[in-house]
Amino acid sequence: MKIIEKSLEKAYSLWIKQERRFHFSAAFNGNRMIEWATNDTHNMSTKAYRLGQKFHINKYKRYPYLHSESHLVYKLMRRFNFIDSSLSIVVLRINPHGKVLLSKPCSNCSKILQAVGLTKVFWSVNYNTFGGTYGKLVEI
């Protein structure tokens, strides 16, 4: 799928070999990437806290650190008056060695994605395989 290939290309262009893992999320309107977000597990964020309040997620209120998916939703909400439910979301994770790993959204991020109507979500399983909300694997 073209959106997965574009997401991988962008992620690798930003990936830096370090001690931690990197999570990336992208929103697509058709094949056009309209927004991009990363995780930030080192800095507390008022954005994460606000999302916790809006979507009643206690963990985000107690531990306000942005996951890439919630950061993406926050950026989409700020940029547009509404979030188009036809958008496709790609979530992926790259470890410090440059290997693509499983990056299925956590239950809190899934709750936020569903609450705003984003149901076309694909996540990395490994470099060649992505899972999806439709229960099928996508081979690239």
Instruction: Give how many domains the chain has, as a whole number.
Output: 1
- Amino acid in position 120: K
What pTM did the predictor assign?
0.90
Q: Which residues pair with 32 in a beta bridge?
A: 29
The token pair that represents 126 in the structure block: 């490994």
pLDDT in tens, 102-132: 999 999 999 999 999 999 999 999 988 999 8
Cβ atoms of residues 64 and 45 within 8 Å: yes
> The domain containing residue 13 runs over which residues?
2-139
Q: What is the CATH number of the domain that holds 38?
A: 3.40.140.10
pLDDT in tens, 90-103: 999 998 888 999 99
pLDDT in tens, 57-102: 998 888 888 999 999 999 999 999 889 999 999 999 998 888 999 9
Task: Output the pLDDT for position 14.
Answer: 85
